[in-house]
Structure 1
Amino acid sequence: MIEERAVIDPNELETAEDSDELYEHHRIVVDKRQALLRVDKFLMDRLPNVTRNKLQNAIRTESIQVNQKPVKVSYKVKPSDIITITLPEPPRDTDVVPEDIPLNIVYEDDELLLVNKPAGMVVHPAYNNWTGTLVNGLTYHLQNLPTTRNGAGRPGLVHRIDKDTSGLLVIAKTEYSMAYLAKQFYDHTIERTYYALVWGVPKESTGTIVGHVGRSPKDRRVMTVYPNGEYGKHAVTHYKVLKTFTYVSLIQCNLETGRTHQIRAHMKYLGHPLFSDATYGGDKILFGTPNGSYKAFVENAFKLMPRQALHAKSLGFVHPLTKEFMQFDSALPEDFSLVLEKWAHYE
């Protein structure tokens, strides 16, 4: 017997974070005639649109419990067990509400559009951000965006950038374009260029960072590099130093893969966290003596740009219908430009 609390978003199982309060979304009372079966396999048959991998992640993070106790992935469900799924947010409908939000659309045709997303805008509805997102605005703009992932979440989106990262995103307007663009991302043929301001000056002016990226066991909101590939997903970032400013450097990053927080995690692993990136330790003075006028200078720079110094500057891809390669570029946002100018005049 399943007592439904809400239609569960499978992405929530993957991204659920620690919270002081948890809300029950599902309560499943196992039938008395149920044969022994692994809990992930049992739930696969009862929860729509949820992959085994996401269920296993939820079990490991104790979002799924049996008889009010956490269990291992290998646990076998028994007759009369009570399985609960709890998440940090209260149950709610997963429908996206169209909102008339100003969007900086840099290109649009019948198949796709490109948006230059400002820093501070969440891409799709999630915890504590159910409204005011890019997807809410896109849904209003297009009204009939296709949906992916078996109809759950991220309408029209084939990739994402973090809330406090600015820059270009491509959005599909048809199912065909969705599949065509997604295949290019999957094959790593999309050209993605980011500009980042990092602490320090890398020893090599150009280089490639190779290291699996996965969630930290200490804090699931943070991604960690696992160089030996024992955990996480394969990730490759190519970088080039464009300009140096005493204690920071402007670098260009080209993504070969697109993992969550890839550039932020890879640059920290290299020893050069992004400037003003609180999640990865870049919101502190990491190079130079942290006192006097220099300390005041850096603190003022943090105030000018109170978010990670990362901008998705350009995108290149093959158009789904014309099959022509299209390249789009964007200017650095004002906060990024002001901080660069400030460092350029630091003595």
Structure 2
Amino acid sequence: MEVTLAPGGASRLDKALHEALSDQAPELSRARLQALMAEGAVTRDGQAVMAGSARAAPGLYLIEIPAPAPAEPQAQDIPLTILFEDAHLIVLDKPAGMAVHPGPGRTDGTLVNALLHHCAGSLSGVGGVARPGIVHRLDADTSGVMVAAKTDQAHQALSKLFAAHDIERAYIALVRGAPRPERGRVETRIGRSQHDRKKMAVLTNGGRVAITDYALEGVWGPQERPLAARVRCTLQTGRTHQIRVHMASLGCPVLGDPVYGSGAPAGAVREAMAEAGLGRQALHATVLGFVHPVTGERLRFESALPADMAALQQALTKKIA
């Protein structure tokens, strides 16, 4: 879509474009134009203009409006590592980098897209059109074991198990430093950060109770001041980013965490991360156990460390005595 602004119009660019497009594209609000600018989708004479508050300069503006995203996720033939499957549910080992369901900025390539193809119409609709079958989530850059429901009956029963915390869930985290004491329980309240609404935080008031049991499984560096450690975390609750927030609250954030990993690790640790090619938080859901919601069978699944975290452990051992 093209529009030409003449000299002497509205002073703000977003206002000028909105007025100039009022007949051609009345559906484009100023807020939508601002969002398109922030995405680099508005150019003037071939150069991106990013700020709607900037003074409107005369010239030819090109506005690229992306095609609307489909209302419902589309089935995609994406390989899955399946640990268990029957008529009621499916347990799989999610790779790092795969989002669980579509969201802002990510409309495909998710676990939901893969499940829609694999299950071919047999997937619980309780989660809604955007999240069919999804009972719980892992962050996109957290790998490991997950369960999804194929029937509404299984979905509702699994949801009750998760709500009652009657699920065995253990994670392996590679962290900066090491927690003290070596074994313990972190019990806090977690909610949205008052300073950054995109982050979670430990709160004094509000939020929800969050409980993580942890145990130190190994350290790299001096015992009195380790540079990095392997920690097993067992969830007693399941809050958003719970382990990442709790480890950071202990002063040992998960290595590679772009959100909660404040402060750089030691040089040898950084070198090990680079050698291992770690491009995400070093967090892996290693155990998932529960009672089958239909058959009553006790199920328990384990997933070995993925290649990048295993390589990081080897690199840490090689570089740090």
TM-score, normalization: structure 2? 0.75
* CA separation of 1:296 and 1:224: change in aligned 2, threshold 3 A: closer
The aligned amino acid for 1:146 is S
Give the gaps of 5 or more residues in structure 1: 6-18, 24-88
2:119 matches 1:142: yes
* CA separation of 1:189 and 1:93: change in aligned 2, threshold 3 A: same
SS at match of 1:235: strand
2:215 matches 1:232: no
The aligned amino acid for 1:259 is R
**Deviation by residue 1:129-181 (Cα, 9 ceiling, x = unmatched):** 101101000001112212224x3431111100000000010011111111111
The aligned amino acid for 2:212 is T
2:97 matches 1:120: yes
Aligned to 2:50: none
Q: Among 312, 318, 335, which residue is 2:285 paired with?
A: 312
4+ long deviations beyond 6 Å? none
* CA separation of 1:184 and 1:239: change in aligned 2, threshold 3 A: same
The aligned amino acid for 1:285 is A
Aligned to 2:300: 327
* CA separation of 1:295 and 1:198: change in aligned 2, threshold 3 A: closer
Aligned to 1:297: 271
Pairwise CA distance, 1:265? 0.6
2:252 matches 1:272: yes
Contact 2:272 2:316 in 1 (8 A): no
Q: Distance in 2 between matches of 1:152 and 1:271?
A: 40
Aligned to 1:109: 86
Pairwise CA distance, 1:297? 2.2
Contact 2:272 2:312 in 1 (8 A): no
- How many positions carry a matched residue from both structures? 255
Aligned to 2:235: 255
Q: Among 186, 190, 193, which residue is 1:209 paired with?
A: 186
Q: Distance in 1 between matches of 2:174 and 2:286?
A: 13
**Deviation by residue 1:81-113 (Cα, 9 ceiling, x = unmatched):** xxxxxxxx9964431101111111111111111
Pairwise CA distance, 1:263? 0.3
SS at match of 2:259: helix
Q: Distance in 2 between matches of 1:300 and 1:92?
A: 36
Q: Distance in 2 between matches of 1:213 and 1:180?
A: 26
2:138 matches 1:161: yes
The aligned amino acid for 2:138 is I
Contact 1:207 1:239 in 2 (8 A): yes
Aligned to 1:241: 216
Sequence identity of aligned pairs in percent? 41
2:173 matches 1:193: no
TM-score, normalization: structure 1? 0.69
SS at match of 2:153: helix
Contact 1:147 1:153 in 2 (8 A): no
Please tell me whether Structure 1 or Structure 2 has the larger radius of gyration of its CA atoms. Answer: 2
Q: Distance in 2 between matches of 1:264 and 1:304?
A: 20
Contact 2:84 2:92 in 1 (8 A): yes
SS at match of 1:224: strand
Contact 1:202 1:272 in 2 (8 A): yes
Contact 1:104 1:115 in 2 (8 A): yes
* CA separation of 1:344 and 1:111: change in aligned 2, threshold 3 A: same
Contact 1:285 1:298 in 2 (8 A): no
**Deviation by residue 1:221-240 (Cα, 9 ceiling, x = unmatched):** 211111x3x12111111101
Q: Distance in 1 between matches of 2:160 and 2:285?
A: 20
Aligned to 1:39: none
Give the gaps of 5 or more residues in structure 2: 1-26, 28-32, 38-65, 222-226
Q: Among 127, 140, 147, which residue is 1:170 paired with?
A: 147
**Deviation by residue 1:15-46 (Cα, 9 ceiling, x = unmatched):** xxxx96189xxxxxxxxxxxxxxxxxxxxxxx
* CA separation of 1:298 and 1:334: change in aligned 2, threshold 3 A: closer
Pairwise CA distance, 1:214? 1.0
Superposed counterparts of 1:89-100, under 5 Å: 92-100=69-77
* CA separation of 1:296 and 1:203: change in aligned 2, threshold 3 A: closer
Q: Among 25, 35, 49, which residue is 1:21 paired with?
A: 35
Pairwise CA distance, 1:270? 1.1
Aligned to 1:27: none
* CA separation of 1:232 and 1:108: change in aligned 2, threshold 3 A: same
Contact 2:272 2:315 in 1 (8 A): no
Contact 2:69 2:107 in 1 (8 A): no
Contact 1:116 1:169 in 2 (8 A): yes
